[in-house]
Amino acid sequence: MIMTVSFNIHHALEFHARATPRRLAVESDTGNWTFDELWSGARRFAATLAGQGLGNGTRIAVLSKNRGEMLVMLFGAALAGAVLVPLNHRLAAPELDWIVRDSEARVVFFEEEFRPKLGPRQAAEIETLAHGTWWPASPANGKPYEADDAYLQIYTSGTTGNPKGVVLTQANAIAQQAAVSASLGVRIAPGDRLYQSLPLFHVGGVFMSLFGLFNGASLVLRRDFSPQDAIDRMSGQEPIHAVMVPTMIQACTALPLPDGHRFPALRTLMFGASPISIDLLQRAARRFGCDLAQVYGMTETHSVISALNPEDYRLAFSGGRPAILAAAGRPVAGTELRILDADGKALLAGEVGEIVVRSGHVMAGYWHRPQDTADTLQGGFLHTGDAGRLDEDGYLYVVDRIKDIIVSGGENISSLDVENVLAAHPMVAEAAVIGVPHPHWGEAVQAIVVAKNETSPCADEILAFCRERLAGFKVPRGVEFVAALPRNGAGKVLKRALREPFWRGQERRVG
């Protein structure tokens, strides 16, 4: 009888730990980890979880900025059969409390600066993983692996208001790594460096960190993004790749540089998560002189649906196909993508409808949300809620958003979250929240407010009220007062009509 072993997310880490144990795996602001140290740490963390009965689907939450210990937890939890729940440290305490309770996390690891947000619950300082006081000396080899084992649960805002826990499996991660390796056109060699400041509480940060480590690269993992630090890192002599969101790219292109400054070893700049203008693409190409690669996706697809690879950009910039600068790329390998009308009928090239996808990296479902899962996964396809079209050559153009999600600086913001807070203001009769174009964040939150009769609220009062109740990135950047909100015959607010004046003339309406 021939025994087979399924590929697990830890196998590449284990390989590099044995082949090049002293090579740097993570260079972070809080300490460095070699591949051997990262692998050994993951095994010890797994042993501790198993010893405390925290395996077999147990949720383990972490509230921290980027640091190597988060990757120890990611691999270690997967080895033990547990599921890591990264928490967005930018959320307010009530928002975090809701997520921790919904996830049923048994323990929360935290950085000291965020401890006040957690309240009186079982928690452990993440720093204990750095000096080994939380785990025993004996490492674990891991539990038997099943392809449908969940390893990651990331909360994403939705139109129902409260965020939903997206359950991602190890099979999702492996399928996505294979698809990206075949489609993105980015060749990261063992020993290359990867500048990575995307937060690990976002699926893009996890995906890109895994992409680098799978290829034996050394992650330059930053706690906070600094354009000067990014420029300095990308200006060295060692081969380096970088991953950013458009707001970061804009900050880097705006930074003054000495005449003749070059990036001799910068191989690739990868980006995604929010809209990017053609002007910014052209400025980035001129400044960095490296390959460009873009991904479009969502948490529910482990970050990637389609990609524009360096060859696409070379074709576009040479004048051979300039229109694809506005595209979101072609579906990555193993992804079936269709455009459907409201009745579920497949549309022809050039026709706009909802983007639906089927692939090995589509989520298992939403945590404890069977109806939401059924609504999103219909007929074997994930319904993205984004509207788009395909051209004759299979390039995807994302043109609008069906779902009322605002993507600002890579953050997903539920318009209903903000609307609920606005509605609680004593002088607000009703409110609608939309995303409007912003030169730095891609989109900004805009509130459209109808005041109650005989009241005269001002924008500053509304914004101060929101700041007390929402995370900073959810607070509207502007407030417009109107006499009434536009509605259709069924009484539904016509958000497309509200968005149109702000988006008129824009090249692209969603990232």
Q: Check which CATH number belongs to the domain holding 71 and give it.
A: 3.40.50.980
The whole-angstrom separation of Cα 155 and Cα 471 is 15
Specify whether 32 is located in the same domain as 140: yes
Q: What residues make up the domain containing 374?
A: 332-398
Specify whether 18 is located in the same domain as 99: yes
Which of 145, 176, 192 lies at the terminal end of a domain, its last residue?
A: 145
Q: Please check whether residue 462 lies inside any domain of the structure.
A: yes
Beta strand segments in 178-301, E: 193-196, 218-221, 240-244, 266-271, 291-296
Residue range 82-99: average pLDDT? 93
Question: Exposed, middle or buried: residue 482 (CB in 10 Å: 0-12, 13-18, 19+)?
Answer: middle
Specify whether 410 is located in the same domain as 493: yes
Q: Is 411's pLDDT higher than 90?
A: no
Question: Exposed, middle or buried: residue 126 (CB in 10 Å: 0-12, 13-18, 19+)?
Answer: buried
Q: Which residue pairs from 124-127 have beta carbons closer than 8 angstroms and sit at least 24 positions apart in sequence?
A: 126/62, 126/64, 126/67, 126/69, 126/70, 126/73, 127/69
DSSP state of 101: H
Rg (CA), the chain: 23
CATH number of residue 466's parent domain: 3.30.300.30
Residue range 368-386: average pLDDT? 95
Q: Is 132's pLDDT higher than 60?
A: no
How many domains, the chain?
3
Q: Specify the DSSP element, H or E, that contains 325.
A: none
Q: Please check whether residue 188 lies inside any domain of the structure.
A: no
Taking a C-beta distance cutoff of 8 angstroms, is the pair 355, 396 a contact? yes
3-state secondary structure of 54: coil
Q: 131 Cβ partners below 8 Å, 6+ apart?
A: none
Task: List pLDDT tens digits, range 26-81.
Answer: 999 899 999 999 999 999 999 999 888 898 899 999 999 999 999 999 999 999 99
Specify whether 345 is located in the same domain as 448: no
CB atoms within 10 A of CB 196: 26
Q: 264 Cβ partners below 8 Å, 6+ apart?
A: 237
Task: List pLDDT tens digits, range 491-508.
Answer: 568 888 898 888 887 755
Specify whether 386 is located in the same domain as 441: no
Q: What DSSP assignment string belongs to 1-23?
A: --------TTHHHHHHHHHSTTS
Residue range 88-115: average pLDDT? 92
437 DSSP β-pair partners: 443
Question: Exposed, middle or buried: residue 117 (CB in 10 Å: 0-12, 13-18, 19+)?
Answer: middle
3-state secondary structure of 415: helix
Q: Which residues of 211-237 are buried (b: 16+ CB within 10 A; e: fewer)?
A: bbbbbbbbbbbbeebebeebbebbeee
Taking a C-beta distance cutoff of 8 angstroms, is the pair 449, 422 a contact? yes
What the block records as the tokens of 29 is 């602001």
Which of 111, 145, 179 lies at the terminal end of a domain, its last residue?
A: 145
The whole-angstrom separation of Cα 434 and Cα 117 is 28
Residue range 158-185: average pLDDT? 89
Q: Please check whether residue 303 lies inside any domain of the structure.
A: no
Q: Please check whether residue 458 lies inside any domain of the structure.
A: yes
C-alpha dist (Å) from residue 258 to 14, 241, 255, 288, 346: 43, 22, 10, 14, 53
Q: Is 418's pLDDT higher than 60?
A: yes
Specify whether 12 is located in the same domain as 113: yes
Q: Which pLDDT score is estimated for 511?
A: 46
Q: Please check whether residue 154 lies inside any domain of the structure.
A: no
Taking a C-beta distance cutoff of 8 angstroms, is the pair 327, 396 a contact? yes
Q: What DSSP assignment string belongs to 237-262?
A: SS-EEEEE-HHHHHHHHHS---TT--
Which of 96, 130, 145 lies at the terminal end of a domain, its last residue?
A: 145
Q: Which residues of 370-381 are buried (b: 16+ CB within 10 A; e: fewer)?
A: eebbeebbeeeb
Q: Please check whether residue 238 lies inside any domain of the structure.
A: no
The whole-angstrom separation of Cα 67 and Cα 74 is 12
Q: What DSSP assignment string belongs to 456-469?
A: ---HHHHHHHHHTT
Task: List pLDDT tens digits, range 421-467.
Answer: 898 899 998 899 999 988 888 889 999 999 988 888 999 999 999 99
CATH number of residue 393's parent domain: 2.30.38.10
Taking a C-beta distance cutoff of 8 angstroms, is the pair 26, 221 a contact? yes
Q: Which pLDDT score is estimated for 398?
A: 86
Unique residue bearing structure tokens 């109107």: 482
Q: Please check whether residue 56 lies inside any domain of the structure.
A: yes
Q: Which of 196-205, 398-407, 502-511 comes out lowest in average pLDDT?
A: 502-511
Q: pLDDT-derived band of residue 302, with 50, 70 and 90 as boundaries? A: very high
Specify whether 380 is located in the same domain as 341: yes
Specify whether 16 is located in the same domain as 135: yes
Compare 131 and 125 and report the one with higher pLDDT.
Answer: 125
Specify whether 394 is located in the same domain as 452: no
Residue range 251-258: average pLDDT? 91
Q: Please check whether residue 293 lies inside any domain of the structure.
A: no
Specify whether 382 is located in the same domain as 349: yes
Q: Which residues of 450-475 are buried (b: 16+ CB within 10 A; e: fewer)?
A: ebeeeeebeeeebeebbeebbbebbb
Specify whether 118 is located in the same domain as 11: yes
Report the percent of the chain where pLDDT is more than 70: 91
Q: CA triplet 150, 151, 152: central angle to 5 degrees?
A: 105
Taking a C-beta distance cutoff of 8 angstroms, is the pair 211, 187 a contact? no
The whole-angstrom separation of Cα 446 and Cα 474 is 10
What the block records as the tokens of 377 is 């996964």
